[in-house]
Structure 1
Amino acid sequence: MNFVKRAGLSLWARRGRTLLTLATFLVISAMVLAGVLINDATARAEQQARRSVGAEVNLDMDLGQLGGGGSLQAPRIDAATVDRIGALPQVQRYTYSMWDRVILQGDAELAGGGPESAMGPGGTVGTGVLDSSLLPDFRSGNFTLLSGRHLTAADKDEKRLLIEERLAKQNGLEVGDTITLAGNDEKTTSEFTVGGIYRDPRPSTEPEPEYDINPGNMVYGTVGGLSALGGGGSGPLQVGKAAFLLEDADVQGAFKDEARRIAGSALDGFELAANDKAVQQMTGPLKSIRSTATVAMWLIALAGAAVLALLANLAVKQRRTEYGVLLAMGEKKSRLVGQQALEIVAVAALAVALSALFAPSLTQSAGRALLGREATAAQEKINSWEPPPPGSTGLDQGIDWNDKPVENADPIDTITVALDTGDLTTVSGAGLAVGLLATAVPAASVLRLSPRTILTKGK
């Protein structure tokens, strides 16, 4: 009899065992497929998050090297070097900055209501930037540009400012008006045009944490304008920090290698640090459910494989006489092995097909529930973080500024499960491998014997 037909008759004659094997295969296939689907869905969601946020690499002073060789001076790097790094193909946009003390001239007054300025009468902090739209507070939406436009690389050598709305109201300034500033030497002066007015939501009584001044008095200007005001116009423009927004987070390594090659020793005293905190905050729940799904998938798969091995061992032992008779009639051992493999393949294929019908919808529901719970817990942790009171560093209260949440980077709470050919191939391969392995071991122990031995020993 054709061994294919014999395999079909065998499956039908042993319907109970066939259904039990099918149920075991179905559980394994569904769990493995669910794990694969969740891994794929979370990977897609994480990639989308990275692309939406982008990857930012910051060039800032290396605090570990600060003070090395007896020098306590913060490092500086030529803007031209930063421009060459910013021209790398991995970079989407970039900016750099420097700061110095500036003093309002004439009848201009600082916005009141805040701490007494440590910069002296009329003194405040002027931060020169290449592209103000890349400042973290503007990118996160914390600062709002009310009128005018951002400072860009095209304005580099012009004398333009962004001022906070409280400083603008204090002096009746609007976009297009001019204001005179003096440099830190209190002698060099220059007239700047108000290019934009922004809003900082922090109250005047809450000091700006980096410079300890009224946040309403922070001034942002073009790097060329403020550098010249500080007496830096006679030499090459130098900056203290830079930020590079990359096309993709996956190119961080290549970008850093190229940046070090271009800059060489100019990066001494600096570090290139990836700022992917927003991505980590958004994708934290994804990593959690992916880990849970993977562990569950392996546990079920291993338990199912053990059950399959037990079923296969019992089935082979029950069919010793059948094997002995067939071998005595001249049937080849390879055809008996082929019959066993065919039976397993038929059951496994049916199990995979059934799991493909309902596993995606069940995985979508289960993934939504798991991810929703993880996202809620992550959001509650974000909401519970509170900054220290004004005038305090937070060290006494045990507040870690590294734990400060990134604004507008809410944890992802939904994924989209989609089944593709690659997923089915993975599950089919895993199911067949488990089934064939579970069947091959006990079958081999019987088929290595002679027909006489099999028939005389019975069960």
Structure 2
Amino acid sequence: MNFIKRAWLNVIRKRGRTLLLILITSAILLFVLSGLMIQSAAEKAVQNAKESAGTTVTLSANRENAFRQMRKQKQGRTELNLASVNLKKAKKIASSKYVKSYNVLSSTTATAKSFKAIKTTTGSSGSSPQGGPMNGNSNSSSKTSLSLSGVTATSVTSAFTDGDNKIVSGRGITTSDQGTNHVVIEKELAKENNISVGDQIKIKSNSKTVTLKVVGIYRASSSSTSTSQMQQSDPSNTLYLASNYVSELKGSSNQADSVVYTMKNPAKAAAFIKQEKTLINTSKFSLTTNDALYQTMLTPLNNIKSFAQKIVWLVGLAGTIILTLIVILMVRERRYESGILLALGERKGKIVLQFLVELLMVLVVSSVIAVGGGKYAGNLLSKQLVQQATTQTVSSNTKRLNNSQLGGGNNSGMSQGMNNPGQSGGATSQNQQQTTNLKLSLSIKTIVEVIGFGLLIITISILLGTINLLRLPPKKILTH
């Protein structure tokens, strides 16, 4: 009678013990499979985050150095001179292998000529938007300036990609609009002045009166105001045009205020900055990264991935210990059988293989059970992990936002308080969507991994549990 047949008969006859082994092994494999599935889903979500988060690097004037130079001026002048970005150099940087797309930004102010801008009334408490006392005897002021925002394309502009603005009629500014007078205006501004797509409007900027053609209308979801040159302007007064057209209005052709580069891989932003710093004058310009959304999305996903890995290893360790103890008890219970077989000339290796085959039979049944219920168990576990990770992230973001508002000073604190909520909320919303959309899938690779993990646990358990059997001679096994 060979050891495989003996193993089969032993499994059939000892039904209670076999059932117990199946239950324990199934529980171990269920948790291991759930952990592997969650880990795999988190890795895919991290990859998706890299593609969708849109980490950006901005090339702009070095404000810190500009302020330092301004303070050094002995004449007591308070004029801040900021260098403009040369478009030729900006496009050369955009050819980097790390860059997915880029957006040239140029801004200025204007006044409405053929229509009325939305009036913004501020303060009856005698304070300006910046928190200082207002000049004059009036307790309120109306600011009706227009903000001209020049872009390469609205589709890659943060206000639109973050969901703060949305095109509701016509189209946005595209690369084909460069050099044209096409403009996209806000819905409320269009409504107040009965302006439709295809209409023409007139504005005055830097002593120039120009005619613009409306090609699109957008809706601004933000209720905060934007500030330009110390004047407050309602978001509805922001007009989007081609960046080079705005630069021409300012009298600075082939120049821009800043250029925003979107990275192909957010993790390569630091490498991109290091590479491109050699092409710019760092005393006049700076490259700054904005990967807040990527990091916000990455943190909970990495936490989930890490926790899933811990589940796999902790369950594997606990499973090995439990099965080892069971094997030790099983060997001790069957020491007489083992001693007789050894006395009859059976080799110790075959007796150990018999125990191994018995557990392999148990593993086959347990694997079927684990594969059948693994996705259900994994979904339950992932929901708990996602909920915990999301709660921690929201709490962390709230604390960081509160700290920035309280510790930012009069100007910076107020600026952050006015401008950051929408961005922070957008980041948190995308982060929650990314984590709640953690899709678990049962692949052949995962099944092979969990079976391999089960084989490893069983092999280690058998080797540890049969040490005495391998060490002692048959006579001592029978008399022990």
> TM-score w.r.t. structure 2 length?
0.76
Q: Aligned to 2:152, which of 105, 130, 135?
A: 130
Note the alpha carbon deviations across 1:271-306, whole angstroms, 9 max, x for none.
2424351x5556766555555544444443332222
Match of 1:404 in 2: 424
Aligned equivalent of 1:152, options 138, 157, 174: 174
Q: Is residue 232 of structure 2 the alignment partner of residue 213 of structure 1?
A: yes
2:471 alignment partner in structure 1: 448
Q: Residues 70, 377 of structure 1: CA spacing in aligned structure 2 closer, same or farther, 3 A cutoff?
A: closer
Amino acid at match of 1:341: L
Name the SS for the 2:55 alignment partner.
strand
- Cross-structure match for 1:2: 2
8 A contact 2:297–2:430 mirrored in 1: yes
Give, as a single letter, the amino acid of the residue that structure 2 aligns with 1:3: F
> Kindly, what percent of the aligned residue pairs are identical?
22
- Relative distance call for 1:20 and 1:447 in structure 2 (3 A) is same
Matched letter for residue 339 of structure 1: Q
Instruction: For 1:448, give the aligned amino acid.
Output: R
Residue type of the partner of 2:185? Answer: I
In the TM superposition, what is the alpha-carbon distance from 1:32 to its structure 2 partner?
0.6
Report if the CA contact (8 A) 1:55-1:274 is conserved.
no
SS in 2 for 1:8: helix
Residues in 1 aligned to 2:322 and 2:383: alpha-carbon distance in whole angstroms: 30
Which of residues 95, 108, 133 in structure 1 aligns to 2:103?
A: 95
Match of 1:58 in 2: 57
2:280 is the alignment partner of 1:266: yes
Q: Compared with structure 1, are the counterparts of its residues 163 and 14 closer, same or farther at alpha carbon in structure 2 (3 Å cutoff)?
A: closer
Change beyond 3 A, Cα 1:157–1:314:
same
Say if 1:35 and 1:196 are closer, same or farther in 2 by CA, change over 3 A.
same
**CA deviation digits over 1:362-402, x for unaligned, max 9?**
333443466467668878999999998xxx86848996948
* Paired AA for residue 374 in structure 2: A
Aligned position for 1:429:
452
Maintained 8 Å contact 1:61/1:240:
yes
Q: Using the TM superposition, give the Cα deviation of residue 28 of structure 1 relative to its aligned residue in structure 2, in angstroms.
A: 0.8
Amino acid at match of 1:144: K
1:243 Cα deviation after fit: 2.7
What is aligned with 2:372?
357
Tell me whether 1:329 sits opposite 2:336 in the alignment: no
Deviation at 1:29, TM superposition (A): 0.9
Task: Supply the distance in 1 between the matched residues of 2:189 and 2:425 (Cα, whole angstroms).
Answer: 28
Q: 1:267 to 1:357 in 2, by over 3 A?
A: farther
Offset at 1:56? 3.2
Task: Report if the CA contact (8 A) 1:178-1:193 is conserved.
Answer: yes
Check the 8 A contact 1:54/1:245 in 2, yes or no: no
- How many residues align? The count is 441
Please name the residue that 2:43 is paired with. Answer: 43
- 1:320 and 1:108 map into 2 onto residues whose CA distance is 99
Q: What residue identity is the alignment partner of 2:233? A: N
Q: 1:435 to 1:229 in 2, by over 3 A?
A: same
Partner Cα distance (1:223, 1:398) in 2: 26
Q: What residue is the counterpart of 1:239 in the other structure?
A: 256
Structure 1 residue ranges without an equivalent (≥5): none
Q: Deviations over 1:117-167 (max 9, x none)?
A: 99x997543222111232222223322334443222222222333333455
C-alpha contact (below 8 Å) 2:107/2:147 kept by paired residues: yes
1:139 aligns to 2:161 (yes or no): yes
Change over 3 Å in CA distance of 1:29–1:145 after alignment to 2? closer
Residue number in structure 2 paired with 1:302: 317
Partner residue in 2 for 1:79: 87
- Contact 2:320–2:460 (CA<8 Å) still a contact in 1? no
Q: Secondary structure at the match of 1:404?
A: helix
| Offset from partner CA, 1:20-55 (integer Å, 9 cap, x none) | 32222121111111111222234334544554x352
Give the AA of the match of 1:411: Q
Q: Deviations over 1:204-223 (max 9, x none)?
A: xx532566522232233222
